[in-house]
Structure 1
Amino acid sequence: MELDTTANMLGLRSDTMRSARWVFAGALLGTVFAYWIGLHGPYVLDDINNLTPIAEWLHGDNTWQHVVLSNGAGMFGRSLSMATLMLSAWVAGFTPFAFKLVILFRHLLCGFAGWQMLRLAIVRDPHLRRHADIAAALLAALWLLHPLNLSTVLYAVQRMAQMSALFTLAALWAYFLLRTALQQGHTRRAACGLFVLFPMFLLAGLLSKENAAVAPALCLVFELAYFRQPRDEHQPAVAKRILAIFYGGFLLVPTILAAAVFALRPNRFLGGYAVRDFTLPERLLSEGRAVMDYVGALLLPRGRAMGVFNDDFAVSTGLMSPPSTAIAVFALVAISALAIALRKRAPSVFAGWFFFLVAHSIESSVLPLELYFEHRNYLPAFGLLLAVAGMAEFLTRRIEPGAMPRWKLGVLAAGGYALALGVATHARAFVWADEGRFLHQEAVHHPGSVRANTALAYYEIRQGNVILARAAIDGLLQSPNPRVRELAYLHRVLSDCVVSGDATANDLHQAIALARPKVTLDEMYVFADLASINDQRACNGASPATLADTIVAMLAVAHSQPDGILPKWKLRNTAAQLYAAAGDWNLAMAQAELAWQPSADAPVGAFLVRTYVQNGMREKAERTFDEVARRVNRNDFKDRNGLIELRQFLDRAAADQTD
């Protein structure tokens, strides 16, 4: 009833609403059918790392405060997302199906919120408003069924991106309703909504993932596209003041504050480049290619070539390296100029295109994130679909109607495309339902991806297919990228240690020869796995001392990074533990001291305390213990118990020394 009232208030045709509802209901059912087979698929990428604290909480090994408030994800902690993940695990169990079923349901909610937002946008386009209901329903159907969204729906921890999108869509839906009320003179209702309801949605989005910060800027895009028309120039002064306060409080002031923090403490935003294989200018150039690649994937999905292992995405080192960089930059500028030129004649083109760009502005600009991920299109895709609808109408505007009206042809075309997208999504979900199928397809279509090929290799090892595993890793040695070859040698050592306990020391020498001026998270993880394997069994050719020496040699090459970055102090700590396992406590202490950086966590200091005790430095051990106690996370059971155990270890050592 409320939707019908809103429709009538805005001039929507109620006779088409029923058809639109049937279209959307069909899209919901098609989406469930397309995705259902994939709900039983495995965890993906960093799912386990992010969900492990929840498993610990379920078993009573951690506190809910630590899981929700101390997860360290993003600037605002993403506490709301973590809380809903905890709720899913508590109600339905800690299984991939439980997490993915909830995400599928929320995907349907996002589709509904997007449908309502698009309805209210399209009705303000004078060229599309007559069929706004059905057009919005079809666009929402295309979004729901699009295979590019699958890597958000079937990737458990991407609930964070999904929830951020949901609350952003709700905020935009509310903005349209409240802005319309303001335009119609209902200033009190509009003001209450803009300064109470909108910030509630915004805050919920920010606590889900930082991407929701774009919501006020997206409102401005819609304001410029649909509301800044000649009929709005004489709006009451009170309405102008409300809008000025809204945009000043939610867009201008936060932008100024963020710019000030960026200027005063740039490392807070850009420090992550210390562990990346690209610089800020290279990322900006690369993101031009990435965004245009997203456009292509949204308009014409590439089927099997789509995936989540995108660490092989090439870095743009200049406008002509690769040449597609210049083409992408030119295309972005040209499309943006066209959208601006068409703002009055085809406002949905302007609104949709700049919605797409603004929604990408956090993850596809200056922040030192990885270059390419499909799930970054979850919210922006709504904008691109809106722009395509506006452009299709604009290009066919002068075509004389034939036996069938233009809008009916558009409905048939969109319906057929939605059906094709649903089939593609179902086929992709079928692949994701089985870990072997999933990893084989990813490795075939991403031959330069270290993650895809090593994940496949370790999967094949678990299946007993050692030859296939070796082939996956050896294929990486053909890469022209030195970093890829370096990691391939390290993973070959790891796989040999796992399979036979007999590695080739020359592989470690080759890795040292290929060491780069920067170490990354990839080296950190593979050496951590090598150290873990050595705890379980001896590995010829990769003894603890040999591995520690390899780490030290590679860190000596990494002279362009400060010692306080995460991969460096983590690697130092791993080297210290390996030297300790080899019985050399002097070298262990030297590496542990280098690892004990201001940014290091409490377990690093705890191990340094043990090295001091082993080397008879009681006073230093006590001083370091006090530092560890100050860094312990009191909400983390492991940290608290570790501190108690460390105190007991020190007391026993003191008692033994007295005896």
Structure 2
Amino acid sequence: MQRFLPAGFWLLALAAFWLLYRPGLPGGFIFDDYPNLQRLATITTGRWQELLSYAVQGIAGPSGRPLSLLTFALQHDSWPADPGAFKRINLLIHAINASLLWWCFARLAQLMNLHQGRWIAPIAAALWLLWPIQVSSVLYVVQRMTLLAATCMFLGLALYVESRSVQPRAAGTTTNKAHALFLLALFVGIGLGMLCKENAIVFPLLVLAVEATLLSRVRRPPRLWLAGLWLPLAAFTIYLLVFLQPWQHYGNRAFDMTERVLTEGRVLWMYVQQIVLPSAGSLRFLYDNYPVSTGLFAPSTTALAWTAWLAVIIAAWQSRRRWPVAAFAVLFFLGSHVLESTIVPLELVFEHRNYLGSPAIALFLVAGLTGITQVRPSVRLALGALYFVMLAVVTFNITSLWGNPLLQKKVWYMQNPDSARVHTTFAAAVLVEGYPEESARLLDIAIERFPTNSALAIARAEIGCYVPELRPASLDQAIAAAAKGDGEILTAVQFLDRIVNAFSENHCSAYSAAEIVDLLRAAQDNPAFQPRLCDLVLLEGIVYSAIGETDRARERLQRALELDRRPRTLIQAASWELSNGNTIEARKHLDALHKLRESKPIQYFAVLDDVKLLELRYRALTSDSGSPE
């Protein structure tokens, strides 16, 4: 009976997990779901060629994340009508990940001879499973990439622990089985993990954190293993610093690299609070208004945060043999953030960045409570039960919001009124529900509150495309925002793209071509928009093409190619030339695209479907029969 009690507890935890997350299944797709999954509509037959073609055309990261995309491709029948089908698979993956953690923690507890290890492992895994901070990772469909990368790393970590458990105690001997498990761990943790999401490159760092703490009293691994862990880290560091040079890619951000690094010290402490002491109000999902640290003492909490982290790191390293679980929590958590919370020019805050590192904190809390021998077991049990009840209440509140998109955006709006992105999101949700007047009113309020935000006034102008009677008296306000605004540049360009495409498809009669061109020219003259200048020039060319001004359209197209000969620009150029019957110029652009297969294969395969369609159009135009369409 004693042997099967932990398994019974685990089944109870899985049942609670399902009941708590079930209210979130009806919610829809949001944000990055659309650009990453919209190509699912191109899968018609479901044949493996189509599935693989979709899988290798990812845009979310340098690797393309083909394994993650393949799982989405297998669900193409559910796009876009049934987001719940995608979320159910996410729930399954999250449950599998928690089970892998139980396995890993249990094996580690055996190697460490940890007191009450039989119970610590399932309780820690259940704690991680139910933590409210995981909700956005699980119910935000496209974050399956995060879940699957964690699956590979957790499985890789479990395999590594198994390799250490079968390693003979005698020095200088290691069995073939141990070597095989180690190699398999690297293949799964790094190889497969990076095909799901690039942050899997930190897997060796996480293994080293385990070695330095939880396995510090066990016989050291072979030197060859340590070399196998350090070499990928060294290679990636060289690639990052020599080739990628992330400090050169901050053009789309309102902060530079130094400011980002300074700010992350405060962000990491906020993450710890959100993990350990969560509340529905503290987990607000959108953090675009998080205050940037412009200096070590601006704000003063920046210096305090980094001083505290430095002290914690030193203490963890010095006490890694005496208090290995505490040291493990610090080193594993920070190791999981070393890519996403340092110099890479990502946004400042996202809750899903804690999915990988938070298990170490769960193990620390459970082992710490179990180790307080001065407190009676009944009291410890009561405290643990109360904590789980508190987590269940918070998690249920958040998942219920994810199941009601309009209410979710309204709550975000009420909780975080200082976020311009929250205002835009709420207005968009109201528009989708069929209330354009209310959406326009909300945007008018937001424009007054955030006068320098470029996206809001352009979003307000977009409503006029669909509901002409709600168009502003003129585009002067949007033009002024495009000319001088400095906030949400990427979002502003997306709104401009939608206005232009609506105009080119005759769905935006409220504005003249001259007005839209003035809007685009204003953005082109704004230094804040310079990283997206090529996109803006292309959009201007589309406007001219829509009204039949071929010469101006071609001039804008050539200007875009001078700015950036990336695949999307070449595709646009080839498509435009084919539409105008210029097969010679189209052939030049198609040849340039095919040359990318050797020089930039990832970019080439990301647009392969578009290239194939262009080739079909080209052959139709150059043959004696067939239609260009």
The verdict on a shared fold, with TM-score over 0.5 as the criterion, is yes
Query: CA offsets per residue over residues 420-458 of structure 1, 9 Å max, x none?
Result: 212221221111111211221122223243443223212
- Please report how far the alpha carbon of residue 620 of structure 1 lies from its aligned counterpart in structure 2 after TM superposition: 5.4
Counterpart of 1:161, as a letter, is: T
Match of 1:585 among 540, 547, 550: 550
> How do residues 474-553 of structure 1 correspond to structure 2 at under 5 angstroms?
474-479=444-449, 482=452, 485-500=453-468, 502-503=471-472, 504-516=474-486, 520-537=489-506, 539=508, 542-553=511-522
- Please report how far the alpha carbon of residue 588 of structure 1 lies from its aligned counterpart in structure 2 after TM superposition: 2.1
Match of 1:43 among 29, 34, 38: 29
Query: CA offsets per residue over residues 320-377 of structure 1, 9 Å max, x none?
Result: 3333322322232232233234323221000111111111112111111121111111
Q: Residue 88 of structure 1 contacts residue 102 of structure 1 at CA under 8 Å; is this kept in 2?
A: no
TM-score, structure 2 as length reference: 0.88
Q: Residue 202 of structure 2 contacts residue 233 of structure 2 at CA under 8 Å; is this kept in 1?
A: no
* Distance across 1 between alignment mates of 2:442 and 2:529: 31
Q: In structure 2, what is the equivalent of residue 464 of structure 1? A: 434
Q: Residue 167 of structure 2 contacts residue 178 of structure 2 at CA under 8 Å; is this kept in 1?
A: yes
- Please report how far the alpha carbon of residue 284 of structure 1 lies from its aligned counterpart in structure 2 after TM superposition: 0.9
- Please report how far the alpha carbon of residue 540 of structure 1 lies from its aligned counterpart in structure 2 after TM superposition: 6.8
- Please report how far the alpha carbon of residue 604 of structure 1 lies from its aligned counterpart in structure 2 after TM superposition: 2.1
- Please report how far the alpha carbon of residue 197 of structure 1 lies from its aligned counterpart in structure 2 after TM superposition: 4.5
- Please report how far the alpha carbon of residue 541 of structure 1 lies from its aligned counterpart in structure 2 after TM superposition: 6.8
Match of 1:347 among 304, 319, 324: 324
Q: Return 5+ residue gaps in structure 2 as ranges.
A: 598-603, 625-629
- Please report how far the alpha carbon of residue 83 of structure 1 lies from its aligned counterpart in structure 2 after TM superposition: 1.2
- After superposition, the CA RMSD in angstroms is 3.1
Q: In structure 1, what is the equivalent of residue 310 of structure 2? A: 333
Higher mean alpha-carbon deviation, 41-50 vs 410-419, is at: 410-419
TM-score, structure 1 as length reference: 0.85
Q: In structure 2, what is the equivalent of residue 100 of structure 1? A: 87
Match of 1:356 among 322, 333, 342: 333
Q: In structure 2, what is the equivalent of residue 655 of structure 1? A: none
- Please report how far the alpha carbon of residue 526 of structure 1 lies from its aligned counterpart in structure 2 after TM superposition: 0.8
Q: In structure 1, what is the equivalent of residue 600 of structure 2? A: none
Task: Indicate the percent of aligned positions where both proteins have the same amino acid.
Answer: 24
Q: Residue 346 of structure 1 contacts residue 390 of structure 1 at CA under 8 Å; is this kept in 2?
A: no
Higher mean alpha-carbon deviation, 535-544 vs 429-438, is at: 535-544
* Distance across 2 between alignment mates of 1:224 and 1:630: 47
Match of 1:410 among 380, 389, 399: 380
Query: CA offsets per residue over residues 385-425 of structure 1, 9 Å max, x none?
Result: 2233455567x46x3x5xx33xx433332222112212221
Q: Residue 156 of structure 2 contacts residue 184 of structure 2 at CA under 8 Å; is this kept in 1?
A: no
* Distance across 1 between alignment mates of 2:236 and 2:380: 43
* Distance across 2 between alignment mates of 1:218 and 1:171: 10
Q: In structure 1, what is the equivalent of residue 123 of structure 2? A: 138
Secondary structure of 1:40 counterpart: coil
Q: In structure 1, what is the equivalent of residue 136 of structure 2? A: 151
Higher mean alpha-carbon deviation, 271-280 vs 59-68, is at: 59-68
Cα gap change, 1:122 to 1:94, in 2 (>3 Å): farther
* Distance across 2 between alignment mates of 1:18 and 1:471: 59
- Please report how far the alpha carbon of residue 553 of structure 1 lies from its aligned counterpart in structure 2 after TM superposition: 2.6
> How do residues 365-376 of structure 1 correspond to structure 2 at under 5 angstroms?
365-376=342-353
Secondary structure of 2:285 counterpart: coil
Query: CA offsets per residue over residues 609-645 of structure 1, 9 Å max, x none?
Result: 369x69xx99756644543565695774443223332
Counterpart of 2:243, as a letter, is: R
Counterpart of 1:367, as a letter, is: V
Q: Residue 55 of structure 2 contacts residue 69 of structure 2 at CA under 8 Å; is this kept in 1?
A: yes
Query: CA offsets per residue over residues 42-70 of structure 1, 9 Å max, x none?
Result: 11221122122223113679932321112
Q: Residue 138 of structure 1 contacts residue 415 of structure 1 at CA under 8 Å; is this kept in 2?
A: no
* Distance across 2 between alignment mates of 1:537 and 1:619: 29
Query: CA offsets per residue over residues 571-615 of structure 1, 9 Å max, x none?
Result: 21111111222443333222211212222423222255369x69x
Match of 1:221 among 209, 223, 244: 209
Q: In structure 2, what is the equivalent of residue 275 of structure 1? A: 252
Cα gap change, 1:488 to 1:497, in 2 (>3 Å): same
Cα gap change, 1:71 to 1:38, in 2 (>3 Å): same
* Distance across 2 between alignment mates of 1:102 and 1:270: 37
* Distance across 2 between alignment mates of 1:60 and 1:382: 37
Secondary structure of 2:166 counterpart: helix
Q: In structure 2, what is the equivalent of residue 117 of structure 1? A: 104
Q: Residue 24 of structure 1 contacts residue 141 of structure 1 at CA under 8 Å; is this kept in 2?
A: yes
Higher mean alpha-carbon deviation, 334-343 vs 39-48, is at: 334-343
Q: Give the number of aligned pairs.
A: 609
Query: CA offsets per residue over residues 124-155 of structure 1, 9 Å max, x none?
Result: 556xx221121222211111111111111111
Q: Residue 476 of structure 1 contacts residue 488 of structure 1 at CA under 8 Å; is this kept in 2?
A: yes
Match of 1:163 among 137, 148, 157: 148
Secondary structure of 1:275 counterpart: coil
Q: In structure 1, what is the equivalent of residue 51 of structure 2? A: 64
* Distance across 2 between alignment mates of 1:421 and 1:575: 51
Higher mean alpha-carbon deviation, 155-164 vs 282-291, is at: 282-291
Q: Residue 40 of structure 2 contacts residue 73 of structure 2 at CA under 8 Å; is this kept in 1?
A: yes
Cα gap change, 1:59 to 1:253, in 2 (>3 Å): same
* Distance across 2 between alignment mates of 1:537 and 1:600: 27
Match of 2:187 among 199, 216, 238: 199
> How do residues 3-18 of structure 1 correspond to structure 2 at under 5 angstroms?
16-18=2-4
Higher mean alpha-carbon deviation, 338-347 vs 134-143, is at: 338-347
Counterpart of 2:538, as a letter, is: N
Secondary structure of 1:276 counterpart: coil
Secondary structure of 1:546 counterpart: helix
* Distance across 2 between alignment mates of 1:413 and 1:93: 44
> How do residues 374-453 of structure 1 correspond to structure 2 at under 5 angstroms?
374-392=351-369, 396=372, 399=374, 401=375, 404-405=376-377, 408-453=378-423
* Distance across 2 between alignment mates of 1:75 and 1:432: 30
Q: Residue 286 of structure 1 contacts residue 325 of structure 1 at CA under 8 Å; is this kept in 2?
A: yes
- Please report how far the alpha carbon of residue 291 of structure 1 lies from its aligned counterpart in structure 2 after TM superposition: 1.3
Matched, 1:576 2:538: no
Counterpart of 1:552, as a letter, is: R
Q: Return 5+ residue gaps in structure 1 as ranges.
A: 1-14, 653-659
* Distance across 2 between alignment mates of 1:460 and 1:91: 24
- Please report how far the alpha carbon of residue 36 of structure 1 lies from its aligned counterpart in structure 2 after TM superposition: 1.1
Matched, 1:34 2:13: no
Secondary structure of 1:320 counterpart: coil
Higher mean alpha-carbon deviation, 580-589 vs 417-426, is at: 580-589
- Please report how far the alpha carbon of residue 111 of structure 1 lies from its aligned counterpart in structure 2 after TM superposition: 0.9
- Please report how far the alpha carbon of residue 174 of structure 1 lies from its aligned counterpart in structure 2 after TM superposition: 1.7
Counterpart of 2:425, as a letter, is: A
* Distance across 2 between alignment mates of 1:475 and 1:387: 46
> How do residues 243-282 of structure 1 correspond to structure 2 at under 5 angstroms?
243-249=222-228, 251-267=229-245, 269-282=246-259
Cα gap change, 1:313 to 1:291, in 2 (>3 Å): same
Counterpart of 2:613, as a letter, is: N
Secondary structure of 1:273 counterpart: coil
- Please report how far the alpha carbon of residue 16 of structure 1 lies from its aligned counterpart in structure 2 after TM superposition: 4.9
* Distance across 2 between alignment mates of 1:98 and 1:354: 36
* Distance across 1 between alignment mates of 2:427 and 2:505: 20
Counterpart of 2:242, as a letter, is: L
